[in-house]
Amino acid sequence: MATTAAAPPGTSRAAAAPRRDRRPTVNRTYYLFLVPALVLFTLAITVPAVMGITLSFTDSVGFGEFSFTGLTNYVALASDPAILGSYGFTIGFALVTVLVVNVVAFLLAVLLTSRIRAKVALRAVFVLPMVISGIVIAYVFNFLFSNSLPQLGQALGLGPLEQSLLADPDLAWTTIVIVTAWQAIPSALLIYIAGILSIPGEVYEAAAMDGASAARRLRSITLPLVAGYVLINLVIGFKNFLNAYDIIVGLTNGGPGTATRSVAMTIFSGFTGGDYAYQMANATIFFLIAVVLAVLQLRLTRGKAAV
């Protein structure tokens, strides 16, 4: 016959029952440290954003009196060739650049995680571009594309390179892709290196024992196991490239004409050109696109790094 242990005399059942874990309490002092950050964020980000969205429904020029015009600015954006052209260039540039960056970064990551000499030193060298200011990089490449490359093209008799690529409306965008990719590859490279190094070495050893070639191991092991990292780089890279500004300013300043003018450049130019409310409407739409991409990024990358 089973018996149950009785609670000690004078002890109630509630006291004898095991206590449930309570949520840890946070000292109120910690919340005080949030106040300065919240105040600064509100004054520097939230308030200007709300004011800007409000002014996008007006005819304001940035100062003085204004009147509400409803959705006039938003309707005008849909038929403005300059606005549509800037969105077309920005999206096309972002798609091409994110493809170039990820292909080159992945191949470099495979190389820098293989059995080669001085691979640690090479990793440090390849990461250097990401610590240099974008505007500085742009001015350096501006000189190369405007002077050094044409001189080299003339010396070698290469017709297309004898003139500055920055002055060619059909090729100027390629210089922006090259320079942007040169600066963005290191950050994608680090993510790919982390992903490849997380793959157990035993997997490659087993594949090698089964006679799988290096190309087969890359295609059947490396690529599937770093798919989550590829997705992270694609989404984050595309979102970042949509905000292209400093490198374009330093290289082409939106030219020739408006061939390489991005959405960010169009918005900033309107702030000083009397189209404040109109470009605030443009900025609001661009902000909504960024929010959608951010939500998409969170959904797609949630838990992918652990794949």
Q: How far apart are CA 70 and CA 167, in angstroms?
A: 40
Q: What is the pLDDT of residue 7?
A: 52
Q: How far apart are CA 265 and CA 249, in angstroms?
A: 8
Residue 275 DSSP SS3: coil
165, 252 in Cβ contact below 8 A?
no
285, 74 in Cβ contact below 8 A?
yes
Q: What is the pLDDT of residue 18?
A: 53
Residue 81 neighbours by CB distance under 10 Å: 9
277, 55 in Cβ contact below 8 A?
yes
Q: How far apart are CA 217 and CA 223, in angstroms?
A: 9
Q: What is the pLDDT along the chain (307 residues), one digit of tens a residue?
A: 444 555 555 555 544 555 555 666 777 777 888 888 899 999 988 898 899 899 999 988 878 888 998 899 999 999 999 999 999 999 999 999 999 999 999 999 988 888 777 777 777 777 888 888 888 899 999 999 988 888 888 888 777 777 888 888 888 999 999 999 999 999 999 999 989 888 888 888 888 888 888 888 888 888 888 988 898 898 889 988 998 899 999 999 988 888 899 999 998 887 777 788 999 999 999 999 888 888 887 777 665 544 4
Residue found by looking up tokens 């309107």 in the block? 270
- CATH no. of 75-131+171-306: 1.10.3720.10
Query: Cα(first)–Cα(last) distance of the chain, in Å?
Result: 53
Residue 178 DSSP SS3: helix
Q: Which tokens go with 156?
A: 């070698």
